[in-house]
Copies of this chain bind each other. A is one copy, B any other.
Amino acid sequence: MTNEDARTPASVQGEKSQEAGKSIGWHKAYVEGSRPDLRVPVRQVHLTNGQSVTLYDTSGPYTDPLAETDVRRGLPPLRENWIIARGDTAEYAGRPVRPEDDGIKHTSPRGGLRNLDAVFPGRPRQPRRSRDGKAVTQLAYARRGEITPEMEFVAIRENVSPEVVRDEIAAGRAVLPANVNHPEIEPMIIGKRFLVKVNANIGNSAVTSSIEEEVEKMTWATRWGADTVMDLSTGRNIHTTREWVLRNSPVPIGTVPLYQALEKVDGRAEELTWEIYKDTVIEQAEQGVDYMTVHAGVRLPYVPLTANRKTGIVSRGGSIMAAWCLAHHRESFLYENFEELCEILAAYDVTYSLGDGLRPGSIADANDEAQFAELRTLGELNTIAKRFNVQTMIEGPGHVPMHKIKENIDLQQEICDEAPFYTLGPLTTDIAPAYDHITSGIGAAMIAWWGTAMLCYVTPKEHLGLPNRDDVKTGVITYKIAAHAADLAKGHPGAQEWDDALSDARFEFRWEDQFNLALDPDTAREFHDETLPAEPAKTAHFCSMCGPKFCSMKISQDIRRQHGESREDIEEGMAQKSKEFAAAGNRVYLPIAD
């Protein structure tokens, strides 16, 4: 996104190479706000024609050559002073971390990864929460008319006035996920009035992957443009993995507390209790999780509605809650204790992501009774959350054919008072496992155009396995395309400048500029060099696709050279000829009647 802000970013000297040895022609820069400790990172692309384009940057300090980062110490607590200055929160001892938090029983033979190497060394810090019932959420501040440093930060990022940011948050049309225990993040906002955001899921599973891999996936995902990251770890060392991810993440982190709670009862859904769940939520809130998916809309009476579905319940959380409800023949403990849960989240400014546990898992199940029954309940819960000043977004499907997509966003906006919609895809067909980043990228672009605020990415491995580093990159790039295509369709101010800058570079054969402006400069350059590797080709007025004689852009330029640059020039030379045609009614053939 081109930064429209008048203030010129304070450029950071020196180029950062994206991968060993590979220079990518852009600088990390910062736009300063009203105070010295409010510096908004941007990605400044320097063009060979002397101009520069400023793009939205999610990569954090890792791409700043002047910043010293150490994953064992974590990122600097950017927001700490802002939080302390508000004086409405206080540190406290916090709950003790137990081996169970990492899925390790006292009786467990192996100690898992819980050893000195695995435990995050970091900096000593106590958890923080609201002081004597004070409202400490960005929603509460916005309602009070306060513009926080976080709000000013996103206003600069989005090129809108801080007042617009405050308005949207106060109205519940946008959320600014920022747990008081996650001071490391660079604030960002999620709402239809702003740039469409992309979430990347990471997380080890019981089957594979390690702590180090997950931290690396997180920094890798944000480097390519992920605006938030969800840690969906389900195996051992959940607590420890999350700690490493949180302390090193420049973007808000989301989780599904139910996963860890289930680990605490050895995966036996029926043994889950409100107490275990609540303890897990507090554990994660103290660590700094910014938003939590809560499947409180999966109610006992809705479970039968899924019985005749082709693919039943495909949400992990949804299936777990459905199993619990049926096992006890009781209403969901999440639904019954929702108000108490609101009080907990409010104390840390954890944002709700109300989960769509009954989303369709196949084209056949799209927009069915179960899905919309849950959506209506999410609308009810959204109203309750707002009473407690808890920021809230609503999760959406899933698998939906194109002609049924719009109904999803329209219903959600109506039922949930325009709360931000956060959708997974949707996938527009089921026939292409290994290409579901594409089947879903199509639906994602469309639903974002129609108002979805954040898109949860889908990788090529969806339905098949755990995504690796390459899959994460492919998923993020695909979804950045969908998000930007939607920004264009929504006419988001400044969105098209990025396209225009790249198209100008293309028409003028500034190959290096095309590469550097590309979402993925490395791959663009690599593809070009496959067939025309030579350095001269970087300035050639053609590529191997059409060759010199057939390059339409080259011919177009020749035309302009020969007949003048402007339309007027060309028209002048053709005025006479054109007149003749006008006289002939611009037709060569006469009607059959003649």
Tell me the A residues contacting B by CB distance below 8 Å. Answer: 205-208, 234-235, 259, 262, 267, 269, 299-301, 303-308, 310-316, 318-320, 322-323, 326, 329-331, 335-336, 338-339, 361-364, 380, 384, 387, 401-403, 428-435, 438-439, 441-442, 445-446, 449, 460-466, 468, 477-478, 480-482, 484-486, 488-491, 496, 498-500, 502-504, 506-507, 514-515, 517-520, 523-524, 526-528, 530-532, 543-553, 555-560, 562-567, 569-571, 573-574, 576-578, 581-582, 586-589, 592
B401 touching A488 by the CB < 8 A rule?
A: yes
A311 to chain B, nearest CB (A): 5
Partner of A503, one of B310, B316, B520, B528: B310
Residue from B323, B435, B543 within 8 A of A519 (CB atoms): B435
Q: Is the CB of B326 within 8 A of A549?
A: no
19 residue pairs of the A-B complex, CB under 8 angstroms, read A205-B544, A262-B549, A301-B577, A303-B574, A306-B556, A310-B503, A312-B557, A316-B551, A319-B559, A331-B581, A338-B589, A363-B496, A403-B449, A431-B518, A431-B519, A432-B518, A434-B518, A442-B485, A464-B528
Q: Which chain B residue has the least Cβ–Cβ distance from A305?
A: B567
Distance of A259 from chain B, by nearest CB (Å): 7
Give the chain B neighbours of A468 by CB distance below 8 A: 530
Pairwise interchain contact A544-B465, C-beta atoms closer than 8 A: yes
Q: How many Å from the CB of A105 to the closest CB on chain B?
A: 15
CB of B567 within 8 A of CB of A402, answer: no
A478 to chain B: which residues have CB within 8 Å? 435, 438
Contact with A546, one of B234, B526, B550 (Cβ below 8 angstroms): B234
Are B267 and A549 interface neighbours, CB within 8 A? yes
A contact patch SS: helix
| A445 partner residues in chain B, CB cutoff 8 A | 402, 428, 442
Judge whether B208 and A314 touch: CB under 8 Å: no
Could you say which of A235, A316, A434, A553 has the most chain B C-beta atoms within 10 Å of its C-beta? A434
* A518 closest partner in B (C-beta): B433
Contacting pair A431 B502 (CB below 8 A) = yes
B431 with A499: CB separation less than 8 A? yes
Residues in B neighbouring A338, C-beta threshold 8 A? 588-589
